[in-house]
Structure 1
Amino acid sequence: MTTSETAAPDPKADLHRYLQEARDALLWKLDGLSEYDVRRPMTPTGTNLLGLVKHVASVELGYLGETFGRPSGEPMPWLDEGAEVNADMWATADESREYIVGLYRRAWAHADATIDALALDTIGRVPWWPSDKNEVTLHHAVVRVIADTQRHAGHADIVRELMDGAVGEKQGDNSIPPGDPEWWESYRSRLERVARQSSAQDAQDAQE
């Protein structure tokens, strides 16, 4: 295959693809759930699905908006000085699912406009970082947002599975081996046995 027959590199397209896949995966985890379940804290530290969406929306508007002198105008009182600690990680009763999801979609549009408008080597300044080391390129900021979104999409995977057993990377592609509930229970039991055997062997080795 000659060079002319291969696709020309498009770094922005690559970055946007992986960012959008993470966005879609995270929002998909809310599908089919009640108002209670999208807000339900599923870990000792309160991790919940709607809070994850609220957080990543805030991250996009910050790193791919304000950092490059492109404020969105979206009010985010949970980030104001004096706001309650961790207020970006859960939705209040007054913050509906429609509002949080809408905020996230508007954050996408604003972030995408920034990516389209600026070169990847454009320098921005992160307002909440120390002033002597707050410069970042747009490329760095986009990679940071992708990493954060993918991380929280992974959290959402686990939260949703713990809630109702639903799993998968995206609609129509769950990215896991096929198996009925009986197979998965057998598989999980096998892993539990191996873990216990390994623990027993480790304890025995420590005594020798």
Structure 2
Amino acid sequence: MSMKRILIIDGITGAGKSSVLKELRARIEALPEGADTHFIYEDDTLGQIMDQVKDPAWRARPTFEALEGTLQRMERELAASPARSFIVERFHLTTYALFPEWDRLVRFDEWLGRLGTAHLLLSYPEPHAERRAIERVDRQEEQWAQGMDAWYGGREAALDAVIQSQRRRWDGLRKSVLPFLHLDTREGDWARYAATIWTFWAGR
């Protein structure tokens, strides 16, 4: 088996990160021999970046404590436990989508490359963005749509932000040195997607 030691799962809101993570966790827990795989979720990887990017002082001298801390933790644990692996929800592609200055993030990309990392990018066609990312019809979250509209100052601005975010992730992926798998999740076939991801990541 040729397993990449870190798999980063990225994608805009509604792309299916939570559904894919749930499927992968179930697969890992079902392994008869068990697996030393740790999950790291976006609260840890993103930290305060959503608020920081709105601060002009931070933008003038940006710091990425959450990325630094997560990478240091993974590097330390991988050195101590060679069989360990990580599945990570969002990382520097999301940061790049919020703060598109790749020269500030390239060192994280190179660092991840040294640790044996691959990207998984989940996406859907842009015409699906309003339904998937803003209206969240899959979860029937009316308050989510209201919050998105309020955050961005209206539906048109919210929709544009979602589309731009997905495009920036693609741009970041083209700049990255990491191998990647892209999945279009418009059909919502999470079990099939998980099987494809498993083959890509774990070589099974």
What TM-score do the two structures reach when normalised by structure 2?
Answer: 0.28
Give the number of the structure with larger relative contact order, counting CA–CA contacts within 8 Å between residues 6 or more apart.
Answer: 2
Which one has the largest radius of gyration? 1
- Larger proportion of strand: 2
